[in-house]
Amino acid sequence: MGIYPPPLENLIRQLSKLPGIGQKSATRVALYILKKPKGPAEDLARCLLEVKEKISFCSLCFNFTDRDPCTICRDETRRNGMLCVVEGPGDQLAIEESGFFKGRYHVLHGVLSPLDGIGPEDLKIGELLARLEKEAVQEVIMAMNPTVEGEATVSFLTDLLSKKGIILSRIALGIPMGGDLKYMDAMTLRHALKSRTSLRP
Ligand SMILES: [Zn+2]
């Protein structure tokens, strides 16, 4: 039995199930909510239910949306035939905010990670294949993060899509803007040299 009354213990238990929130943080948040007036707690409870009720996957790109298809998939000014594959909604948002890419997206919702038990069936890979059957896609750009799991996912998708007659590309990895070669790790430098681009056509 916990040291707090059961309803408070229940709230702490539920909060501590959230990613990145341990027992101590959960207790702090629960006590904070308890001390505040009822209004903010009701707003929070309403928002929690609302995201579950109103947000779902876009049936085309599998990003989260409150309207299917999502705004980007509905946008007729964007270029068809160029598909940027990303790990998650946050990555898609980051690319979108750069304002450079005007094609379409496909959100995998994770990367392959056998150690965590995440296989191809746990990601939106089957949905990507189905999409490539239906849409006239000329190029798939892999925009996975430069992690072991990200690289493994790129290799897996490259093998899977290599015989489909589609151009497969990977976003360049290397030195960030404002970076300094002296402080780069060996892996970053290796990738930067590998991803070098020609200065003259
Ligand atoms: Zn969409």
Secondary structure (3-state) at 82: strand
* 195 alpha carbon – ligand 1 mean position (Å): 30
* 184 pLDDT tier (thresholds 50, 70, 90): very high
> Per-residue pLDDT averaged across 122-151, rounded?
96
> Per-residue pLDDT averaged across 182-200, rounded?
89
* 44 alpha carbon – ligand 1 mean position (Å): 27
> Mind listing the pLDDT tens digit for each residue in 47-82?
999 999 999 999 999 999 999 999 999 999 999 999
Secondary structure (3-state) at 53: helix
* 136 alpha carbon – ligand 1 mean position (Å): 16
DSSP designation for 114? G
- 60 Cβ neighbours under 8 A, 6+ residues apart: 69, 70, 73, 104, 131
> Mind listing the pLDDT tens digit for each residue in 98-125?
999 999 999 999 999 999 999 999 999 9
Mean confidence (pLDDT) of the chain: 94
* 150 alpha carbon – ligand 1 mean position (Å): 22
pTM of the model: 0.84
* 54 alpha carbon – ligand 1 mean position (Å): 15
The answer to whether 188 touches 161, Cβ cutoff 8 Å, is no
* 67 alpha carbon – ligand 1 mean position (Å): 9
pLDDT at 201 exceeding the cut of 80: no
The answer to whether 143 touches 93, Cβ cutoff 8 Å, is no
* 57 alpha carbon – ligand 1 mean position (Å): 8
* 78 alpha carbon – ligand 1 mean position (Å): 12
Using alpha carbons, select from 130, 89, 129, 86 the residue that is nearest to residue 111. Answer: 86
* 194 alpha carbon – ligand 1 mean position (Å): 32
pLDDT at 84 exceeding the cut of 80: yes
* 1 pLDDT tier (thresholds 50, 70, 90): low
> Per-residue pLDDT averaged across 188-192, rounded?
90
In the prediction, which pLDDT does 185 show? Answer: 92
* 88 alpha carbon – ligand 1 mean position (Å): 13
* 69 alpha carbon – ligand 1 mean position (Å): 5
The answer to whether 65 touches 74, Cβ cutoff 8 Å, is no
* 198 pLDDT tier (thresholds 50, 70, 90): confident
> Mind listing the pLDDT tens digit for each residue in 41-54?
999 999 999 999 99
